[in-house]
Structure 1
Amino acid sequence: MARQLDEQIAGRYPVGQRLRILDVGMGAGTQALRLARAGHTVTGLESDAELLKAARESLSTEPAGIRERVRLIEGDGRETGVHFLPGSFDVVLCHGVLMYAPDPDAMLAGLARMLAPGGLLSLVVRNAEALAMRPGLAGDWAGATAAFDSDVYTDRTGQKVRADRLDTLTSALAGIAAPLHAWYGVRVFTDGVANDVGLPAAEELERLLAAEDRAGRTEPYRRIAALLHLCGVRG
């Protein structure tokens, strides 16, 4: 996702422009810190106290110039209007968060309002059209059969959450004046890898990432990815 996001940023903004970025549901801050190191001003919004603490601890080890570019706030994506004025950001990230929102349309509309004209909204969601892939590849035929007709899945923490469809989100983005500009598949080949499996050696990891990146841009592979990365642009 980082490579895809960098591609979209580079395609929309002049080289060297320091962007105002909002990372909604930033987790432990990995993406926020990466973007701050690249020179951007980043605001991280996170509702989980433990993840927010981890992000603050990671930020504390960074040089002063990077720390000055990062602001961390406790809150969630439904509260953007409480914390920020409309049009406050050039880029809004909502990665792995929308599936937990009880009213995703309202949340999306709120995120879009945070964007300046021409701003980029980056979403990462679970792909409802590929829910049968994980149980099917694991030999769970009953689970695969049930997944064909479902928009709900169990995440890696055991929580049941919503998956989204490309067509539905395309319509939603058009409705909030941030129409779809580009989309990618994420985790085409690696969704079934267990959490406790370590990374391969550097050379093998680079081959893996290259294969995933190409599959995520190529039909029909990207349509069976576990996740979808959608980029909308504010009109």
Structure 2
Amino acid sequence: MTDPGAHASDNSWVRGAVDHALVPAYQTHTATLRGIIRQRLVTRALRTYLPDPPGRILDLGGGDGIQAIALARLGYQVTICDPDPDMLRQAEENLLTETGTTRDHVTLILGDGHDAAGLVGGDWDATLCHGVLMYLPDPAPLLNVLAAVTRPGGTISVVGKNATALALRAGLQGRWHDTLTLLDDESRRATVTEIGNLGVPSRGDDPRHIQDLLTAAGTEPVAWHGIRVFTDHLGDTPPGPDLDTVIEAEWTSGSRDPYRQIARLYHLIHTRRP
């Protein structure tokens, strides 16, 4: 594991939205049933669509390294580029519990993902952007970067908040005022803003809109999955002994219509055109 000490640009894309003090809250969320389901489903999809290891993977906004570590264990070389030094310090702490081989497979870079070409170069076998677009005023520039730094034929993985289903959680939790507000926002535009898990405003997007932006950037769609169809309203419920069964139900439902359309998160897989 190395850290060349690259610096974030002045227009850092997450730092202004997710305050450093919220890093512990994010860590808490990742240990809940909802957090574990997200990570396990994303890893399962990546194992399905990524080229076999070894391969070079760039994780823009990889934060505390949970996803990168899962891929490093499989033999991939993963570079995290993130603008938040607190998140990268957490990633370093998480790596301390891994084997030396896994640690050697992860590189941490402090920097803004919009500057990825200058920070880490291009020709990556795969690029990941998970849980980042929701904090950006405009997702298109970062999606263009993802496509630009991926090698022809390489894989692009994007996870974001599904604007067409945001009212579902509020309704299932009995928050009827929030439900009506989100339904009204959803009917008027493809982008919907709410207060997310970390207590800060975050935006949802229509996955079809993100697919169109990726296609315009020079990619082809391969697959899209929904994440958290049945469990998103469960708050901070911890995982139980039936975790594997729950994950199987979520994977199966998130792989087909109409269920994936009402999932909390979308997971899009594209490939860079030659």
TM-score (norm 1): 0.92
- What residue in structure 2 maps to residue 5 of structure 1? 46
8 Å Cα contact 2:43-2:70 kept in structure 1: no
8 Å Cα contact 2:156-2:272 kept in structure 1: yes
Q: Distance in 1 between matches of 2:142 and 2:48?
A: 25
Structure 2: 5+ residue runs without aligned partners? 1-41, 186-191
**1:79 Cα shift?**
1.9
- What residue in structure 1 maps to residue 229 of structure 2? 188
Summarize the alignment of residues 198-209 of structure 1 with structure 2, pairs less than 5 Å apart: 198-201=238-241, 204-209=242-247
**1:61 Cα shift?**
3.3
Structure 1: 5+ residue runs without aligned partners? none
Match of 2:255 among 217, 224, 230: 217
Letter in 2 for 1:198: P
- What residue in structure 1 maps to residue 161 of structure 2? 126
Check if 1:110 corresponds to 2:145: yes
Match of 1:33 among 52, 57, 69: 69
**1:143 Cα shift?**
1.2
Secondary structure at 1:192 match in 2 = helix
- What residue in structure 1 maps to residue 131 of structure 2? 96
Q: Distance in 1 between matches of 2:211 and 2:106?
A: 31
Letter in 2 for 1:229: H
Secondary structure at 1:103 match in 2 = coil
Moved more, 61-70 or 124-133: 61-70
Secondary structure at 2:57 match in 1 = strand
Match of 1:53 among 82, 89, 92: 89
Query: 1:1-25: per-residue Cα shift (whole Å, max 9, x none)?
Result: 111111111xxx3x4x411001111
Taking only the aligned residue pairs, the percentage that are identical comes to: 38
Larger RCO (CA within 8 A; separation ≥ 6): 2
**1:65 Cα shift?**
2.2
Q: Distance in 1 between matches of 2:99 and 2:63?
A: 21
Q: Distance in 2 between matches of 1:218 and 1:113?
A: 30
**1:53 Cα shift?**
0.6
Secondary structure at 1:199 match in 2 = coil
Letter in 1 for 2:262: I
**1:162 Cα shift?**
1.1
Q: Distance in 1 between matches of 2:77 and 2:229?
A: 32
**1:116 Cα shift?**
0.4
Q: Distance in 2 between matches of 1:206 and 1:123?
A: 24
Query: 1:106-157: per-residue Cα shift (whole Å, max 9, x none)?
Result: 1110111110011111000000000110111112222111112321111112
Moved more, 107-116 or 66-75: 66-75
TM-score (norm 2): 0.79
Match of 2:216 among 169, 172, 175: 175
Query: 1:204-226: per-residue Cα shift (whole Å, max 9, x none)?
Result: 11110110001101211110000
Q: Distance in 1 between matches of 2:98 and 2:265?
A: 31
Q: Distance in 2 between matches of 1:149 and 1:112?
A: 33
Q: Distance in 2 between matches of 1:140 and 1:102?
A: 26
Query: 1:58-78: per-residue Cα shift (whole Å, max 9, x none)?
Result: 223333222222110112322
Match of 1:72 among 88, 108, 131: 108
